Structure 1
Amino acid sequence: MRWGTYFAVLSSVLSVGLALGVSMPLVSLRLEAWGYGAFAIGVMAAMPAIGVLLGASLASRLASILGTANLMRLCLWGGSISVGLLALLPNYWIWLALRLMLGVILTMVFILGESWINQLVTENLRGKLVALYGSCYALSQLGGPLLLGVIGTGHDFGFWVGTALLATSPLLLLGRSGAPSAEASHVSLGDLAGFCRQLPAIAWAIALFAGFEAMILTLLPVYCLQQGFTPEIALAMVSTVVVGDALLQLPIGALADKISRRRLFSGCAVALMASSLAIPLLVDTDAIWPLWVVFGASAGGLFTLSLILIGERYRDDALVRANAHVAQLWGIGCLLGPLAAGAGSQWISGQALPLLMAAGALGLVILSQRPRAFGTVQPVAA
């Protein structure tokens, strides 16, 4: 086990979470201040999803040409430039293009980083170390809104912090080894359909969590403002959701090494459904704060368990391709989630965001009870 490489890869991916956490809520709040409605903000939040689909199709091919570590460094530097341009070019249509670029670039970072981590860890520690990755990534996103709350939203400091983080993090990957090998192959949507048929519950959970994550960083601040909270309280609520995601992933990962991962997966789906339904009922009470924690923890647990189950089954190029499918599903979730929630919030109900999450979780609860919902692939020996 290459511990130094594990923490270097972990840190480089965490810089992405912190950069997004400090810059993406600022985009939404800036658009809301400019007078854009929930649907326009939802379109902005969904734009990276198209980039995700493009990045997922290219990651394996480019990694085979440039090498995993080299490609990750180039993508991080490219992301730094894109976030910096958000500050320099404050225009809705230009921001749409920059968000598309971020989707392409940072998708490849996630595919390669998650593959690298799953390749490094040993089977007896897989649950804990993959959960540590999920927990630390969530904490990095938590740090973003908190930092944004400290430095303020009236200027562009949040964009410049994100730029600096993405510019310096590639240095951590210099001289690191143990990355999965990749073949020069194209990952198509047809391949994704086969992955979904093989592991339908995992595929649904990934898409659901992607929609959750996109909406939490972009539409949840707007939802909280619409409920009468100040921008500072709205950002604190976003941070509380991420706290739940972050703090409870390690216990979930530890349990995944000891009890049935399928049963634990179903439990997280039920908890997400129940907490989503309770949000409209408790949003004006003090009980909303612990509820935000459960909401974030249950959603994050589904994604962590999905990565653990994928890591059991694949190695090297197969692992890179599986994580490319994860990115494709992420793109679909990021595209459909904010669009549906934004449209629903503007034209149907102000409670569309939590109700949409409840509906998605209900579908997952039903799907996870199917006998072949988690596939029949035998775990690969470490």
Structure 2
Amino acid sequence: MRAEPADEAASGGGIDSVEAPDPTLASLARTAGPGASAPDWAKVALVTATVGVFAVAVGLSSPLLALVLKSEQFSGLLIGTNAAMMPIGLLSSALCVPRLVQGAGAYKAAVGLALIAAAALALMMVFRTLWIWFPARFVLGLAIGGFYIVNKAWLNEIAVPVYRGRVMGLYAAVLAAGFSLGPFALALTGSSGWRPFAVGILALLAAALITAIFATRLPRFSVKERTPITSFIPCAPVLLAAVATFALFDHATLSFLPAFGMRNGYSEQAMAIGLAVLNGGNVFLQIPIGWLADRCPRRLVLLGCAAATAAGAVLLVIAVQQGLLMLFILLFVWGASAYGVTTVALAELGDRFGGPTLLAGSAAFTLASGIGGMLGGPLTGAAVDTAGDSGLILVLAGAYGLLGLLVAVVPLTRRSERSRTD
């Protein structure tokens, strides 16, 4: 991200690229030899560590809030409606956070958003009433989405083309690890009392503190120009489709994969482990996928991930009949290929766009993720009601099959006056 208001123009370092894209230059950069410049790995580690700490709080909060509401004996409708405030907040962040960043500055926005998320969680810890939880959960979703928008844009500004896929893979791996540690922390603290809330609040405060301490080392955004999110959407429809497709996959598997396994003879505990294995593929395989995206044409890697995920959905029917080991092996690889489309999309975003357009693109990715997530549950639920277990397979295979078709026939990005040349 680029600079804070007053001192940006004078700083000189990392001025936003505004020239038209040069596909030949971008291709050469990705295939550069050992002498190619490397990103500042200290900055990469700083941003990814901050995101990982933040993700612990996010991974803890969703199951925690659901369990608290259930213990308070609210109806399923109220619990579900309250949970919907989070994705609505995420969608809202995509529309308002870019303007906030360019008005207040990148690091101030990131620190403020982390503090707002902590305050929202603290409010829900103190007051167990729905009329407070509804707006608080909306604000929590908005702050979470905004923090991720800023950090994804930061990473893409720090990365250089020859390493961008690996940097995005590292980001995905750390994010997945943080999400996994959240429920683990909840298992240690339990859902009752103030302790689980305190863990989440401390993680959010730690993310804010790390960002504030190292703010001067982070990239900055120009505040002189702003690219509306609506103007970015036609520039990268396939990348946005990739992000939305994974969000659909994520929500569909979280909601319906455990029931799918239990109907095929597995215990609830086994399928809970299965979800962890599904996420484990993201932790261990995203860096290799990012490496492939740096070494091979991005379109080919994206197409391969889409095809592998569609095939994995079909093979799930076979694996579930072959025992727990085969099922877990499939889930491990399946989860990695499913998220791999987002890793490749993020790398391509950073290669093609810079400055205000990169910020708008990061926000558009969050918007696409929110839309895909909101469609995932209802669409899959309707398919399962109609076709039984086959409904889950049809939705996931169809979604990734359609994505593969788009990747094959539509350009990943279109030319933009704000595209980068590095």
Name the TM-score, length of structure 1 as normaliser. 0.86
The one of 182, 205, 212 aligned to 2:249: 212
Displacement of 1:271 in angstroms is 1.1
Displacement of 1:338 in angstroms is 2.5
**Segment of structure 1 superposing worse, 141-150 or 84-93:** 84-93
Q: Which residue of 2 aligns with 1:81?
A: 119
Aligned length: 378
Partner deviation per Cα, 1:167-207 (whole Å, 9 max, x = no partner): 22211112423423143777766435xx2x33222111111
Partner deviation per Cα, 1:284-325 (whole Å, 9 max, x = no partner): 631221121122101110000000000001112121111111
SS in 2 for 1:51: helix
Partner deviation per Cα, 1:226-269 (whole Å, 9 max, x = no partner): 76755543432221111011211011111111111111100100
Distance in 2 separating the partners of 1:216 and 1:244:
14
Establish whether residue 268 from structure 1 lines up as the match of residue 344 from structure 2. Answer: no
Distance in 2 separating the partners of 1:158 and 1:353:
33
What are structure 1's unaligned runs of at least 5 residues? none
Q: 1:188 to 1:233 in 2, by over 3 A?
A: farther
**Segment of structure 1 superposing worse, 150-159 or 15-24:** 150-159
Please say if residues 55 and 105 of structure 1, whose CA atoms lie closer than 8 Å, have aligned partners that are also in contact: yes
Letter matched to residue 162 of structure 2: N
Q: Which residue of 1 aligns with 2:51?
A: 13
Establish whether residue 255 from structure 1 lines up as the match of residue 270 from structure 2. Answer: no
Distance in 1 separating the partners of 2:114 and 2:44:
17
1:151-166, aligned counterparts within 5 Å?
Answer: 151-153=189-191, 157-166=195-204
Please say if residues 59 and 181 of structure 2, whose CA atoms lie closer than 8 Å, have aligned partners that are also in contact: yes
Q: Which residue of 2 aligns with 1:99?
A: 137
Partner deviation per Cα, 1:312-353 (whole Å, 9 max, x = no partner): 011121211111111111121122223333455567646644
What are structure 2's unaligned runs of at least 5 residues? 1-38
1:53-64, aligned counterparts within 5 Å?
Answer: 53-64=91-102
Distance in 2 separating the partners of 1:243 and 1:334:
20
Letter matched to residue 350 of structure 2: G
Displacement of 1:377 in angstroms is 6.4
Letter matched to residue 101 of structure 1: V
Q: Which residue of 2 aligns with 1:293?
A: 332
Name the TM-score, length of structure 2 as normaliser. 0.79
Distance in 2 separating the partners of 1:19 and 1:112:
17
1:1-382, aligned counterparts within 5 Å?
Answer: 1-28=39-66, 34=73, 43-90=81-128, 94-153=132-191, 157-173=195-211, 174-176=213-215, 177-183=217-223, 190-191=230-231, 195=233, 197-216=234-253, 220=257, 232-283=269-320, 285-286=323-324, 287-342=326-381, 344-345=383-384, 349=388, 352-375=391-414, 380-382=420-422
Letter matched to residue 370 of structure 2: G
Instruction: Give the ranges of 4+ consecutive aligned residues of structure 1 lying more than 6 Å apart after TM superposition.
Output: 184-187, 225-228
Q: 1:156 to 1:349 in 2, by over 3 A?
A: farther
Q: 1:324 to 1:182 in 2, by over 3 A?
A: farther
Higher radius of gyration, 1 or 2: 2
Distance in 1 separating the partners of 2:273 and 2:83:
20
Distance in 1 separating the partners of 2:312 and 2:189:
31
Displacement of 1:146 in angstroms is 3.1
Identity over the aligned pairs, expressed in percent? 26
